[in-house]
Amino acid sequence: MENPTIADFMKLDIRCGTIVTVESFPEARKPAWKMRIDFGPEIGVKKSSAQITDLYAESDLLNKKIMAVVNFPPRQIGPFVSEVLVLGFPDADGAIVLGIPDGVVPNGARLV
């Protein structure tokens, strides 16, 4: 893999948002949640699906701050269109742990 440059990194628009709705996604091949995430007035509310059901219940996710790439093209996932890519890291068992800000960050704040 070629080493990316800082210019490559800056092409990614990674923002902080708050999960405002969570619902099950029974049509997904692997267990997943469908979420609506508020990224503030500049970006608005966007939809995403994430395979994070191993570690997060619906009640854990509602009003949780997360980080997501907001400038990838929408992706069709079965009958659902995911508009942003929620970021996370696999734990030792492969379950996804969400990437979250450590502190108070407004919706729409950009990772720099």
The confidence score (pLDDT) of residue 1 equals 79
Q: What is the mean pLDDT of residues 89-109?
A: 97
Determine phi and psi for 31, rounding to 5 degrees: -55, 135
Q: What is the mean pLDDT of residues 75-99?
A: 97
CB 67 within 8 A of CB 15: yes
Mean pLDDT of the chain, nearest integer: 96
The confidence score (pLDDT) of residue 34 equals 98
What does the pLDDT look like over 7-56, one tens digit per residue?
Answer: 999 999 999 999 999 999 999 999 999 999 999 999 999 999 999 999 99
DSSP string, 37-98: EE-HHHH-EEEEEE--TTT--HHHHTT-EEEEE-SSPPEEETTEEE-SEE-EEE-TTSPEEE
